[in-house]
């Protein structure tokens, strides 16, 4: 080649252009593909879900509330609602919208897909928890109920989604969960989080950022009109009552279930011994099971043995075998320090 | 099944479903707890340990050393370099002996024998094509493999590999990959197809896909003869003989390490884009060291692995040899097919710092990387048109010494850049067809197979292009 | 279905239909033997020893990832033996353990040889106890006994055998130590000369025991011949779809056709 400089520049331009076009998610191709997807069906199904939500929470639904939910104008919302009505999924009476039986099962099907997918993401993928909901919002419109059923079968027919919501059964029944809002607990009460509301996103992100998750043990330390102070897995947190209403808890009745030691396994030094007390509920699915398969169950003795170069992972001696664990997991195993 | 029974089973399942809501998520935990407490009781009665401390000390000492902050990594590279060095040094002489036996001595004998009863083209096709390519592959592949595999197996049997995974996990975690990817990568040093199958030990689908796609960055046994040869010719030959082997091994280790780094970089890129996600749990049991039975290991790994891999290479080399012979001997408009292709693809090859011959060789070698070098040599002679070298058009031959080979490369217009880029391209190109097929079988997806095939190829083209252009920019 | 044990004490018990679906050809063989166990306990080494084949072995967990089959003849009977990938548990849902799990659950081998590491017995017993919940035809192979000796670990084989209720053999497979005894035990269990009385979990946690017992009783009522109703009950409580399907189709213990385990490895993403 006569002039390498020109080739270099040309090569650079070509590579950049190809990247700009093909780059996953942010490339032109990806953007074009996203914009080309079926937005009509989505609007219909989202509206239907909204009507279902109203019914579930015993509120009443109108075209205006649909418009609000879909972030669109009244005309569009009216169009959507008329279409749903002509499909026999909802009926209207006196401006208010009601589900037909068929509409209810349709909505439950969407919810089943949504929650199953969240469960899949939480237990079988490594997608961040703040993204579970938004990913499921997309998948619920594309996955068929048959696909969802076979996914459920593969995952061992899970009962609740990672936020604690019950997953509608294959027969489209929706079991009740019970529980009370966090701000209904009294000072000194000990409960377990059974549900974290994932909407609005901003509040959910805040709860997640505080490290809260489903299955966590909550101990109310103090309760005032403007804030609730509580210990979650041994760490103190403060929440405004309005935010606390997004958390549902169940009081722990069985005293033996109450954990009082939240020393993380990662805090043990080489040579120290700990007794496993429990595994945080934040560790889910297959990863949790694998740990138990390896002998990390309450009562097991565990001793750090080898620390790798960067201090992570660490190999622990447990039930006669040596097992390496990453810190993000040894943080989630609670032990009582012994000897 | 009659109605009554169906009702009963329905009822049974419904009861179970209801009870599941009651026992809740703790079921599995309680069960495991019960099992382990029984296990502990039984083990307690049956197992007695005498003075464990003293005996375990050895294992603990070794572990402390191989995973230590200061010595862990250097020890790893040292071992890798040692394995390659033993291979390079040890393989030289037997390779030469095999070549003079199979090529210099047997080839003319067989050719004469064939010519005595069959037409020229049959003898050429079978002996100059099929036989010679097979002979070449045996001569080049057998000695290094017969050394590499047993040495590697000794390390494996001792229990060193899980420690490598343990040491490297931190890097893999940051790349969003699974710690056991270090294990599958090590398997890939033997054979990428085997490495891809080995990814089954990774139970997260996302991380398994990353391990599959990046396995190709482990130099497999089909590629490191190429690396060793080119390194000795373009790097080792410039040095005094007594350190040439060491430096060549060093260069090969450099490429191998570059492959490891690239697999980390690509894993990172994949975790940030099409395989988005965070690293999942990593739990790896570190087995106790078990002193290997040296002779038994040497014997079985020679028989099982070496012969097996060699057989595969031969199976692919024979038809490839025939194809090369044909492409060099079937003429269109007075020039052979091979020459047509080479002169057509040469400009593009030069742009990449390679040449048309190398590009054609990599197309012919899609079924097996082992045959790249023989193909390159033969095609170079063909296009450079040197009548004294080589026994005739389309013949793959072994040359007495590396300097003769260097001579051929020089005639073919090779420079140091060509050598370097060939080493890079040998690391970065599409996996062999067996590996691609294995990837397809393991993932069950065309999409991922295509990505795993095309991604390294594109990387290779880009890397070679920029290396070449920068080289030319600064060399002038 | 199989002939029931009362009629024929030393008939093979394997389920031909399932084995066929699992891709195991049993023509020409009398018994099928499965090699199960935690990863890296020497299963493949035992397999190589018994069959003379050359499965790859290596000192790290997860060396074997696919099933391998071989055969041998002992006291005039033809045995087919299946080497399985290592598994930590039959209760988990991980895909890398699917091959082993499905074979033990649905292949109904005549004998399941559980290979354990003599230096890590306590952890290994987890899987042993699970296997014993499923089958009452098992042999425990306490392998790597040479390593245990090297580390001054003494395993009381007789106590272990008494506690578990199955034949227990100490072996050092790489040195071929104890192989004859292992063969003898396999043959005795396969032919029914030895009747196992396997250990079953004693104290299932009270919180779940009631639920398990309730379902267990219903299962016993509907499938009186079933050898392992408690196991089935526990699987139901974990929502295991393959068991649910088997109950629905009335062929409990049978493998559903679509649950092909030839290619469990397909990744969906
Ligand atoms: N010292 C000693 N080593 C053994 C014995 N049996 C097996 N080994 C070694 O232990 C290692 C593991 O053996 P494998 O047969 O591969 O174990 P496996 O159970 O098939 O392992 P996976 O396939 O990973 O589940 C190998 O390095 C064997 O050489 C034994 O009795 N004594
Ligand atoms: Mg094995």
**CB-CB contact of B358 with B124 (8 Å):** no
- The more confident residue out of A231 and C168 is C168
Residues C218, C223, C224, C227: is their CA dihedral positive or negative? negative
Q: What is the mean pLDDT of chain B?
A: 84
Q: Which CATH entry fits the domain spanning A28-99: 3.10.450.50, 1.10.10.10, 3.20.20.70, 1.10.1670.10?
A: 1.10.10.10
Longest dimension (CA), chain C: 52
Q: What is the mean pLDDT of residues B217-244?
A: 81
Cβ distance of B23 and C207 shorter than 8 Å: yes
Do residue C119 and residue B448 have CB atoms under 8 angstroms apart? no
| Averaged pLDDT for residues B126-152 | 83
Is A226 buried (19+), middle (13-18) or exposed (0-12) by CB count in 10 A?
exposed
pLDDT (average), residues B88-116:
84
- Phi, psi (rounded to 5 degrees) for C93: -115, 15
To the nearest whole angstrom, how far is the Cα of B301 from the nearest Cα of chain C?
Answer: 9
pLDDT of residue C3: 43
Chain A: nearest CA to C121, how far in angstroms?
A: 7
Contact yes or no for C88 and A290 at CB 8 A? yes
Which of the four pLDDT bands, split at 50, 70 and 90, describes residue C266?
very low
Kindly list the residues from chain C whose CB atom is less than 8 angstroms away from the CB atom of residue A286: 92-94
Distance CA A222, CA B149 (A): 66
Is residue C43 predicted with pLDDT exceeding 90? Answer: yes
- pLDDT at residue C28 greater than cutoff 50: yes
Closest ligand 1 atom to B290 CA = 1
pLDDT at position A170: 83
Considering only A193-207, B231-245, B416-430, which range has the smallest mean pLDDT? B231-245
- C267 CA to middle of ligand 2, Å? 22
Strands A321-325 and B283-286: antiparallel
pLDDT at C263: 33
The CA-based diameter of chain B, rounded to the nearest angstrom, is: 91
Beta strands in C84-137 (DSSP E): 111-117
Rounded to 5°, angle at Cα B394 from B392 and B395: 65
Tell me the pLDDT tens digit for each residue of B402-416: 666 777 788 788 888
Secondary structure of residue A301 in the 3-state scheme = strand
CB pair distance less than 8 Å for A289 and C91: yes
Helix (H/G/I), strand (E/B), else coil: B302: helix
Query: For residue A217, what pLDDT is reported?
Result: 87
Nearest alpha-carbon partner for B256 in B77, B456, B73: B77
Beta-bridge partners for A307? A314
Given an 8 Å threshold on Cβ–Cβ distance, is B473 in contact with A5? yes
Instruction: Specify the range with the lowest mean pLDDT, choosing from A29-33, A172-176, B403-407, C152-156.
Output: B403-407
Q: Do C125 and B448 touch (CB under 8 A)?
A: no
Label residue C166 by pLDDT band (50, 70, 90): very high
For residues B277 and A125, the answer to whether their CB atoms sit within 8 Å is yes
Ligand found nearest the CA of B297: 1
Crossing angle of helices B181-190 and B132-158, rounded to 10° = 150
Percent of chain B clearing pLDDT 70 (strictly above): 92
- Distance (angstroms) between ligand 2 centre and the Cα of C108 equals 20
Q: Is the CB of C178 under 6 A from ligand 1?
A: no
Q: Is the dihedral of CA B275, B280, B282, B283 positive or negative?
A: negative
Q: What is the pLDDT of residues B281-297, one digit of tens each?
A: 788 999 989 888 888 88
Residues by chain with Cβ below 5 Å of ion ligand 2: C 43-44, 64
Whole-angstrom CA distances from B144 to B90, B137, B224, B242 are 7, 11, 9, 19
- Please tell me chain C's helix, strand, coil percentages from 3-state DSSP, rounded to the nearest 5: 40, 15, 45
B134 or C145, greater pLDDT: C145
Whether the per-residue pLDDT at B391 is higher than 70: the answer is no
Q: Are strands A321-325 and A333-338 parallel, antiparallel or unpaired?
A: unpaired
State residue C173's pLDDT score.
94
Which pLDDT tens digit goes with each residue over A317-331?
999 899 999 998 899
Q: What is the ipTM of this complex?
A: 0.87
- To probe the interface with A, which of C39, C87, C88, C154 has the most A CB atoms within 10 Å? C88
H/E element, A324: strand A321-325
Q: How far apart are the C-alpha atoms of C62 and B44, rounded to whole Å?
A: 28
Judged by average pLDDT, the poorest of A23-32, A64-73, B32-41, B398-407 is: B398-407
Q: Who has greater pLDDT, C255 or B17? A: B17
In 3D space, the residue among C115, B280, C210 whose CA is nearest the CA of residue A329 turns out to be: B280
Band of pLDDT at residue B54, cut at 50, 70 and 90: low
pLDDT of residue A314: 94
Asked if the domains A28-99 and A263-338 are classified in one and the same CATH topology, the answer is no
- Strand duo A228-232 + A217-223: pairing: antiparallel
Tell me if chain B has a CB within 8 Å of the CB of A95: no
Expressed in angstroms and rounded, the spacing between residue C40 Cα and the centre of ligand 2 is: 7
Residues 57-86 of C with CB under 8 A from A: none
Rounded to the nearest angstrom, the distance between the alpha carbon of A289 and the centre of ligand 1 is: 25
> Exposed, middle or buried, A61 (CB in 10 Å: 0-12/13-18/19+)?
buried
How many whole angstroms separate alpha carbon C257 and alpha carbon C133? 25
Would you call A40 an interface residue with chain C, using a CB distance cutoff of 8 Å? no
Distance separating alpha carbons of residues A101 and B449, to the nearest angstrom: 45
For residue C49, the CA-to-ligand 2 centroid distance in Å is: 12
Chain A from 305 to 324: CB within 8 A of any C CB: 318-321
Q: What are C125's two structure tokens? A: 């017993």
Give which of C170, C168, C166 is closest to C179, Cα–Cα.
Answer: C170
- pLDDT tens string A211-258: 888 888 888 888 888 888 888 887 888 888 888 888 888 888 777 777
Upper half-sphere CA count for residue A18 (Cβ side, 13 Å): 7
Measure CB to CB from residue C163 to each of B34, B46, B304 and give the nearest one: B46
Q: What is the pLDDT of residue C155?
A: 95
Q: Which has the closest alpha carbon to B325: B411, B391, B405, B263?
A: B391
pLDDT number for residue B168 = 92
Task: Return the CATH number of A180-257, one of 2.40.50.140, 3.40.50.2300, 2.30.30.90, 3.40.1410.10.
Answer: 2.30.30.90
Q: Name which of A283-287, B85-89, B235-239 the model is least confident about.
A: B235-239
Find the helix packing angle between B433-443 and B205-214, rounded to 10°.
170
Average pLDDT, chain A: 86
Q: How far is the CA of B43 from the centre of ligand 1 (A)?
A: 21
- Is C172 close to ligand 1, i.e. is its CB under 6 Å away? yes
Whether the pLDDT of residue A274 is over 90: the answer is yes
Nearest CB to C208; choose among B23, B42, B441: B23
Q: Which of A293, A318, A319 sits opposite C92 (nearest CB)?
A: A293
C268 chain-A contacts, CB cut-off 8 A: none
Closest atom of ligand 1 to C83 CA is 20
Least confident span in A13-22, A296-305, B56-65, B174-183 = B56-65
- Give the neighbours of chain B: at least 3 Cβ pairs within 8 Å: A, C
**Cα gap C118→C156, rounded to integer Å:** 10
**Predicted pLDDT of residue B294:** 87
Residue B52 has pLDDT above 60, yes or no: no
Q: How far apart are CA A218 and CA A196, in angstroms?
A: 13
Could you give the 3-state DSSP secondary structure of residue A99? strand
- Residue B386 reports pLDDT greater than 50: no
Q: Is A306 within 8 Å of B67 when comparing Cβ atoms? A: yes
Q: What is the pLDDT of residues C212-262, one digit of tens each?
A: 888 888 888 888 777 788 888 888 888 888 788 878 876 664 433 333 333
For residue C175, the ligand 1 atom closest to its alpha carbon is 31
C141 vs A190, more confident: C141
C-alpha–C-alpha distance, residues B280 and C109, integer Å: 35
Provide mean pLDDT across the span C177-183. 96
Nearest-10 Cα torsion for C122, C127, C132, C133: 120
Q: Note the pLDDT of residue C5.
A: 43
Backbone angles phi, psi at C108, to 5 degrees: 40, 60
Angle among Cα A149, A150, A154 to the nearest 5 degrees reads: 120
CA end-to-end span of chain B, whole Å? Answer: 86
> Quick one: pLDDT at residue B393?
40
Q: Which ligand is nearest to the CA of B183?
A: 1
Residue B84, class by beta-carbon neighbours within 10 Å (0-12 exposed, 13-18 middle, 19+ buried)?
buried
Among the four given CATH numbers 1.10.3720.10, 2.60.120.10, 2.30.30.90, 3.40.50.10420, the one describing domain A263-338: 2.30.30.90
Does B14 have pLDDT greater than 70? yes
Range C83-114 burial, b when 16+ CB lie within 10 A, else e: bbbbbbbbbbbbbbbbbbbbbbbbbbbbbbbb
Q: What percent of chain C has pLDDT over 90?
A: 43
Confidence at residue B388, expressed as pLDDT on a 0 to 100 scale: 42
**Paired residues of B47 in beta bridges:** C155
Q: What residues 41-80 of chain A have any CB closer than 8 A to a CB of chain B?
A: none
Name the CA radius of gyration of chain B, rounded: 27
């Amino acid at each position: 080649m006569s002039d390498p400089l020109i080739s270099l520049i040309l090569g650079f331009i070509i590579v950049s252009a190809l990247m700009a076009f093909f780059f996953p998610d942010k490339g032109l191709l990806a953007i074009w593909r996203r914009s080309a997807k079926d937005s009509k069906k989505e609007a219909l199904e989202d509206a239907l879900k909204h009507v279902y939500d109203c019914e579930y929470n015993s509120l009443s639904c109108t075209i205006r509330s649909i418009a609000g939910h879909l972030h669109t104008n009244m005309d569009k919302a009216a169009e959507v609602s008329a279409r749903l009505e002509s499909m026999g999924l909802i009926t209207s009476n006196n401006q208010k919208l009601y589900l037909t039986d068929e509409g209810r099962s349709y909505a439950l099907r969407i919810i089943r897909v949504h929650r199953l997918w969240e469960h899949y993401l939480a237990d079988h993928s490594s997608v961040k928890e703040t993204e579970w909901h938004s990913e499921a919002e997309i998948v619920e419109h594309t996955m068929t109920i048959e696909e969802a059923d076979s996914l459920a079968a593969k995952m061992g027919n899970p009962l609740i989604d990672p936020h604690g919501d019950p997953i509608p059964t294959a027969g489209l029944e929706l079991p009740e969960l019970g529980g009370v809002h966090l701000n209904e607990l009294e000072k000194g009460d000990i409960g377990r989080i059974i549900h974290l509301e994932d909407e609005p996103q901003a509040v959910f992100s805040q709860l997640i950022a505080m490290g809260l998750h489903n299955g966590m043990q909550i101990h109310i330390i103090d309760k005032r009109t403007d804030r609730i102070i509580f210990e979650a897995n041994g760490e103190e947190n403060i929440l405004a009552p309005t935010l606390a209403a997004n958390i549902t808890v169940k009081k722990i009745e069985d005293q033996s279930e109450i954990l009082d030691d939240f020393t993380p396994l990662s805090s043990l030094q080489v040579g120290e011994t700990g007794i496993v007390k429990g595994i945080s509920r934040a560790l889910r699915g297959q990863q949790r099971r694998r740990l138990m398969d390896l002998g990390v169950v309450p009562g097991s003795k565990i001793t750090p043995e080898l620390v790798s170069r960067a201090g992570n992972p660490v190999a622990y001696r447990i039930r006669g075998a040596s097992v390496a664990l990453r810190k993000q997991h040894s943080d989630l195993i609670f032990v009582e320090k012994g000897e | 099944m009659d109605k009554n029974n169906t009702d009963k089973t329905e009822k049974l399942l419904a009861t179970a479903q209801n009870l599941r809501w009651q026992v809740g998520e703790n079921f599995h935990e309680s069960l495991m707890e019960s099992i382990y407490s029984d296990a502990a009781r039984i083990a307690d009665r049956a197992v007695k340990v005498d003075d464990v401390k003293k005996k375990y000390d050895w294992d603990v000492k070794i572990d402390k050393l191989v995973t230590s902050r200061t010595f862990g990594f250097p020890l790893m590279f040292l071992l890798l370099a040692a394995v390659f060095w033993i291979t390079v040094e040890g393989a030289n002489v037997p390779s030469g002996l095999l070549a003079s036996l199979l090529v210099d001595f047997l080839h003319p004998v067989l050719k004469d024998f064939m010519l005595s009863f069959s037409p020229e083209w049959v003898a050429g096709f079978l002996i100059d094509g099929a036989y010679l390519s097979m002979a070449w592959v045996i001569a080049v592949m057998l000695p290094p493999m017969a050394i590499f595999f047993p040495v590697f197996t000794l390390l494996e049997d001792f229990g060193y590999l899980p420690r490598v995974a343990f040491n490297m996990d931190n890097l893999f975690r940051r790349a969003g990959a699974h710690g056991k990817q270090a294990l599958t990568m090590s398997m890939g040093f033997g054979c990428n197809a085997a490495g891809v199958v080995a990814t089954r030990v990774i139970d997260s689908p996302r991380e398994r896909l990353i391990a599959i796609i990046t396995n190709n960055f482990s130099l497999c046994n089909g590629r490191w003869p190429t690396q060793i040869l080119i390194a000795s010719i373009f790097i080792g030959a410039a040095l005094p003989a007594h350190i040439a082997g060491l430096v060549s091994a060093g260069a090969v280790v450099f490429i191998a390490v570059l492959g490891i780094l690239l697999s980390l970089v690509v894993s990172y890129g994949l975790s940030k884009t099409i395989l988005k996600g965070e690293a999942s749990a990593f739990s790896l049991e570190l087995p106790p060291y078990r002193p290997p039975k040296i002779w038994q290991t040497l014997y079985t790994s020679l028989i099982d692995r070496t012969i097996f891999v060699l057989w595969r290479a031969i199976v692919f080399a024979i038809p490839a040899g025939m194809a090369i012979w044909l492409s060099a001997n079937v003429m269109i408009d007075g020039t052979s097919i091979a020459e047509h292709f080479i002169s057509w693809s040469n400009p593009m090859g030069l742009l990449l710092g390679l040449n048309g011959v190398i590009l054609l060789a990599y197309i012919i070698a899609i079924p097996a990387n082992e045959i790249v070098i023989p193909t390159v040599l033969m095609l170079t002679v063909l296009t450079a048109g040197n009548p004294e070298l080589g026994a005739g058009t389309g013949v793959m031959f072994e040359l007495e010494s590396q300097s003769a080979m260097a001579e051929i490369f020089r005639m073919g217009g090779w420079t140091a850049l060509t050598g370097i880029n060939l080493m890079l391209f040998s690391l970065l190109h599409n996996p062999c067809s067996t590996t691609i097929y294995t990837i397809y079988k393991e993932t069950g997806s065309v999409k991922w197979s295509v990505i795993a095939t095309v991604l390294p190829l594109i990387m290779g083209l880009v890397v070679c292009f920029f290396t070449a252009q920068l080289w030319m920019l600064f060399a002038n | 279905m199989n002939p029931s044990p009362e009629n024929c004490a030393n008939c093979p018990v394997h389920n031909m239909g399932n084995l066929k679906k699992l891709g195991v050809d049993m023509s020409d063989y009398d018994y099928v033997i499965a090699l199960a166990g935690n990863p890296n306990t020497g299963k493949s080494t035992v397999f190589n020893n018994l069959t003379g084949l050359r499965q790859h072995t290596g000192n790290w967990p997860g060396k074997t990832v696919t099933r391998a089959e071989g055969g041998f003849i002992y006291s005039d009977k033809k045995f087919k033996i299946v080497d399985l990938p290592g598994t930590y548990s039959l209760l988990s849902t991980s895909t890398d353990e699917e091959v082993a799990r499905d074979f033990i659950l649905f292949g109904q081998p005549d004998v399941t040889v559980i290979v354990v590491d003599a230096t890590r017995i306590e952890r290994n017993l987890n899987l042993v106890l699970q296997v014993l919940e499923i089958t009452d035809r098992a042999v425990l192979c306490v392998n790597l006994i040479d390593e245990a000796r090297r580390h001054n670990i003494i395993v009381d084989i007789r106590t272990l055998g008494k506690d578990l209720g199955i034949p227990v053999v100490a072996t050092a497979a790489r040195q071929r130590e104890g192989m004859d005894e292992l063969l003898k035990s396999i043959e005795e269990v396969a032919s029914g000369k030895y009747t196992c009385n396997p250990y079953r979990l004693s104290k299932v946690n009270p919180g779940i025991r009631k639920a398990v017992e309730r379902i267990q009783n219903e299962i016993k009522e509907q499938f009186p011949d079933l050898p392992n109703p408690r196991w089935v009950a526990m699987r139901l409580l974990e929502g295991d779809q393959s068991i649910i399907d088997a109950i629905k189709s009335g062929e409990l213990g049978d493998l559903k056709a679509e649950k092909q385990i030839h290619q469990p490895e397909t990744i969906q993403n």
